[in-house]
């Protein structure tokens, strides 16, 4: 008779699974960790909306107080005197300077940024692409005041020759006529802002171009396409929405830039057809220059101009989202 095999002790019972409630979407059970994460995510989104609404309410309340006491048209007046016995101030000059300088920065920066991003992602060898990408990322972290000091001490003195050349050959257009001896104008501000937003647009565009489907690129190469044809047919259509988003991100910084603009611009509260003459100003620069010496009503007037900048920024970002959403080929 064979000896009986030794009996093994029974395995301990498994612990019961954690209690889970039904999912509000699919009706399936949801673990407690998922419910906690869902609550935290939802709470973060609601908190952001509450903060934005609180900022808008504060700006609107203080702006109404200022505009109700304005003795001039807030939208068309070419003057800013909010501390007089009869306050007269308007945003026409500030809106003109802000929009023109930001558009100049975009016209200069976006094509250069896209070219640099394509070079890093598809042309440069890996030994060069990685250090160049690190340098671009570091430039995005340089403080605004550093750019402003560089612009005031180096850029402004070296632009007088370019301004004289533009006046000699293109001054007949009225846009590039140059009559002042200094180069502290909206054109200088546009160049400085373009240099400032260049790293941001380049970094985002580079990451988007690197995500282009490799199968599409390899298929185009297999059909005999050149490298530029691969980029034109496969990379650029895929990354178009990303380039638009990167451009809007850079435009947001250009619209709200303060210290760099205040350092290189000499505003005269005049709307000039020439981009090379001193004149104009921006919302952020005007707030930074006048806020410390303004009384309570003057601060309300500056807050009213800040509300206009807030609305312009929201409209620009909303328009970008609509462009991406309405064009199926961008997604």
* pLDDT, tens digit (0-9, with 9 covering 90-100), for 284-316: 888 888 888 888 898 999 999 999 999 998 888
Whether residue 186 is found in the same domain as residue 319: yes
- 113 shares its domain with 261: yes
Cα(289)–Cα(283) distance, integer angstroms: 10
C-alpha closest to that of 175 among 166, 164, 188: 166
Q: Is 300 helix (H, G, I), strand (E, B) or coil?
A: helix
Per-residue pLDDT at 222: 86
Pair (109, 51) in one structural domain: no
Q: Are residues 189 and 258 in the same domain?
A: yes
Same domain as 154, residue 62: no
Answer whether residue 42 is part of any domain.
yes
Predicted local confidence at residue 11, as pLDDT = 54
- Domain shared by 227 and 156, yes or no: yes
Alpha helices per DSSP H over the chain: 32-68, 92-118, 126-139, 144-150, 156-158, 160-170, 186-210, 214-222, 227-230, 236-256, 259-264, 283-290, 296-326
Task: Give the pLDDT of residue 6.
Answer: 52
**What is the pLDDT, as a whole number, of residue 330?**
47
The reported pLDDT for the residue numbered 266 is 77
Q: Are residues 186 and 134 in the same domain?
A: yes
User: Are 46 and 105 in a shared domain?
Assistant: no
Check: CB of residue 251 under 8 Å from CB of residue 139.
Answer: no
Q: Is residue 80 domain-resident?
A: no
Same domain, 104 and 149: yes
pLDDT computed for residue 195 by the predictor: 93
Residues 6+ apart with CB under 8 A from 157: 183
Identify whether residues 162 and 264 lie together within a single domain: yes
45 with 169, same domain? no
> How many structural domains compose the chain?
2
Please give the residue range of the domain that contains residue 279.
Answer: 92-330
CA dist., res. 304 & res. 300, Å (int): 6
Residue 188 lies in a domain: yes
Token representation of residue 321:
């989202």
Using the structure block, give the residue that is written with the tokens 């016995």: 85
d(CA 282, CA 188) in angstroms, rounded, equals 13
CATH number, position 264: 1.10.3720.10
Residue 1 lies in a domain: no
Does 266 reside within a domain? yes
- The answer to whether residue 238 sits within a structural domain is yes
Distance CA(312)–CA(95), nearest Å, equals 9
My answer on whether 58 and 104 are in the same domain is no
- Residue 186, domain member (yes or no): yes
Consecutive 10-residue averages of pLDDT for the chain (331 residues): 51 55 57 87 93 92 91 86 84 90 93 93 87 87 89 89 87 82 84 92 90 85 85 87 87 86 81 80 86 87 91 85 65 48
Question: Residue 23's pLDDT is what?
Answer: 52
* pTM, rounded to two decimals: 0.82
Output the pLDDT for position 1. 47
Integer Cα distance of 144 and 137 in angstroms: 15
Question: Is residue 49 in some structural domain?
Answer: yes
């Amino acid at each position: 008779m064979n000896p009986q095999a030794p009996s093994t002790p029974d395995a301990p019972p498994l612990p019961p699974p954690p209690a889970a409630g039904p999912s509000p979407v699919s009706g399936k059970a949801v673990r407690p960790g998922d419910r906690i994460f869902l609550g935290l995510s939802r709470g973060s989104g609601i908190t952001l909306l509450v903060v934005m609404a609180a900022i808008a309410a504060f700006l609107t309340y203080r702006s109404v107080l200022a505009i109700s006491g304005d003795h001039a048209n807030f939208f068309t007046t070419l003057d800013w005197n909010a501390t007089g016995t009869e306050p007269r101030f308007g945003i026409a000059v500030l809106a003109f300077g802000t929009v023109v300088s930001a558009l100049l920065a975009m016209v200069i920066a976006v094509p250069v940024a896209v070219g640099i991003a394509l070079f890093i992602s598809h042309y440069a060898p890996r030994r060069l692409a990685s250090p160049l990408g690190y340098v671009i990322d570091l430039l995005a972290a340089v403080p605004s005041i550093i750019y402003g000091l560089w612009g005031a001490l180096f850029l402004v003195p070296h632009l007088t020759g370019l301004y004289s050349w533009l006046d000699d050959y293109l001054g007949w257009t009225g846009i590039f006529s140059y009559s002042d001896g200094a180069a502290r104008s909206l054109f200088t501000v546009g160049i400085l802002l373009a240099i400032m937003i260049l790293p941001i647009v380049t970094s985002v565009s580079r990451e988007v171009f690197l995500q282009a489907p490799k199968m599409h690129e390899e298929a185009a190469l297999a059909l005999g396409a050149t490298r530029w044809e691969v980029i034109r047919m496969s990379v650029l259509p895929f990354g178009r929405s990303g380039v638009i988003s990167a451009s809007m991100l850079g435009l947001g910084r250009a619209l709200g830039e303060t210290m760099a603009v205040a350092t290189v611009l000499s505003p005269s509260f005049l709307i000039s057809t020439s981009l090379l003459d001193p004149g104009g100003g921006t919302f952020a620069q005007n707030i930074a220059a006048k806020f410390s010496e303004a009384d309570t009503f003057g601060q309300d007037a500056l807050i009213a101009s800040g509300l206009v900048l807030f609305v312009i920024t929201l409209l620009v970002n909303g328009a970008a989202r609509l462009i991406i959403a309405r064009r199926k080929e961008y997604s």
